[in-house]
Amino acid sequence: MPDTSAVRYLVLADRAAPYLLARVRWPDIAQAITAGSPDWLEDPGLFDLPYDPGAVMVSFSQAASVAAGWGTQLSAGAAGGVPSFIRRMPANWSDLSHAERSAHGIGIVGRQRVSARRIRRRVRRLRSFQAKVAASSGAAASGAAHASGHAGALAGAGGGPVAGVHGPAASGGSQVAGVTSGRGSAAAERRRDVRVRVDGRAHIRWGHTTISAGLVDLSEGGVRCVLPQASPMLAMGAALEGPFLLEAEVSTSRICLDVAGRISWHRSFGAGMNFGVGFGQLDDGETEGVLRFLAACGTRGYR
């Protein structure tokens, strides 16, 4: 990864959905792209962005994920030969003028709202469907385990070898097998909300490091992830300062949650591990963003 420690990457988000990505280094780099204008624009007003309460500082990896979602490849340093925007000073990123929105390709943010009741209704329907699937799978697994135990008892009585749960048949190396093996820990975890299955990636900032893990499920209260290689940093109770950038495979949806988190459980499988993260308190906009993310990703993923 290139050394970009001197450059700060920041995003502005509406209901947790990023709509502007900036890279800033005083006094020579002040550039931004947006979902509506993925070409870099030079703007001296971006030097004020790190001091705006709505700006979220992200890592290079998290910024690269946002840029990739808009069709732009993020590279170290500044882009040369980009147009400049002559603007009013000082900049007020919490209340942009029409000219500023037009220059950066930003539409009307925060005004077109879908009813939270409608979003929650869609999420409840999805959760109900998943609960039925989980109940059916659980009943099938219970029956299979009962049959396997019965067969094992007969084999043991006959003096033959008994295949335990840690034998070859249970030690598959696939990610799906690893996710399944972690359900015992996940079930024991105290949860404020029912989680919804979401296939995607989670980019978690931990100090100066970004952990990129497979996204398994999500709720307003936390997230479950999987790593192909266990990490000693993800110990039980370890604090994560955030932000959390989550992206789904089945859609272009991304959310950036500017909250702290804590490792609530972890379980190893082979060389990898499953782990759960409990979020800190989300604000109303972030809660609505999570619900929108679940509704969009979940309904597309389970059609």
How many angstroms separate the CA atoms of 60 and 3, rounded? 9
> Model pTM?
0.74
Show the domain range for 215: 116-142+172-301
User: What is the tally of structural domains in the chain?
Assistant: 2
How many angstroms separate the CA atoms of 122 and 292, rounded? 9
Co-location of 128 and 271 in the same domain: yes
Co-location of 207 and 255 in the same domain: yes
pLDDT of residue 206: 84
How many angstroms separate the CA atoms of 103 and 280, rounded? 35
- 71 lies in some domain: yes
Q: Are 221 and 192 in contact (CB under 8 A)?
A: yes
- 159 lies in some domain: no
Please tell me what DSSP assigns to residue 6. Answer: T
How many angstroms separate the CA atoms of 87 and 46, rounded? 11
On the question of pLDDT at 50 being above 70, the answer is: yes
- Reported as a single tens digit per residue, the pLDDT across 74-106 is 988 787 889 999 887 788 998 888 999 999 999
| Count of residues making up the chain | 303
- 3 lies in some domain: no
- 53 lies in some domain: yes
Q: Which residues of 87-119 are buried (b: 16+ CB within 10 A; e: fewer)?
A: beeebebeebeeebeebbbbeeeeeeeeeeeeb
Structure tokens at 18: 């990023």
How many angstroms separate the CA atoms of 239 and 262, rounded? 4
- Reported as a single tens digit per residue, the pLDDT across 178-210 is 433 344 444 444 455 778 899 999 999 888 889
